[in-house]
Amino acid sequence: MALVPCQVLRAAILLSYCSILCNYKAIDMPAHQTYGGSWKFLTFIDLVIQAVFFGICVLTDLSSLLTRGNDSQEQERQLKKLISLRDWMMAVLAFPVGVFVVTMFWSIYIYDRELVYPKLLDNFIPAWLNHGMHTTVLPFVLIEMRTTHHQYPSRSCGLAAVCTFAVGYILWVCWIHHVTGVWVYPLLEHLSPGVKIIFFAAVTVIINIFYLVGEVLNNYIWDTQK
3-class state of residue 68 by DSSP:
coil
> 103 falls in which pLDDT band (50, 70, 90)?
very high
Residue 155 has pLDDT above 70, yes or no: yes
pLDDT at 120: 87
Tell me how crowded residue 1 is: count the other CB atoms within 10 A of its CB. 10
pLDDT at 66: 77
Residue 3 has pLDDT above 90, yes or no: no
CA separation for the pair 195, 183 (Å, rounded): 15
Q: What is the pLDDT of residues 163-217, one digit of tens each?
A: 999 999 999 999 999 999 999 998 999 899 999 999 999 999 999 999 999 999 9
List the one residue out of 52, 220, 75 whose CA is nearest residue 152.
Answer: 220
Per-residue pLDDT, averaged over 7-14, amounts to 92
Tell me how crowded residue 165 is: count the other CB atoms within 10 A of its CB. 19
3-class state of residue 99 by DSSP:
helix
Share of the chain above pLDDT 90, in %: 70
Look up residue 183 and give its DSSP letter.
Answer: -
3-class state of residue 210 by DSSP:
helix
> 27 falls in which pLDDT band (50, 70, 90)?
confident
- What is the torsion angle, in degrees rounded to the nearest 10, for the CA atoms of residue 103, residue 107, residue 112 and residue 118? 10
More confident residue, 67 or 200: 200
Q: How far is CA 203 from the centre of its chain?
A: 15
**Mean of per-residue pLDDT scores for the chain:** 91
CA separation for the pair 223, 104 (Å, rounded): 29
CA separation for the pair 50, 136 (Å, rounded): 11
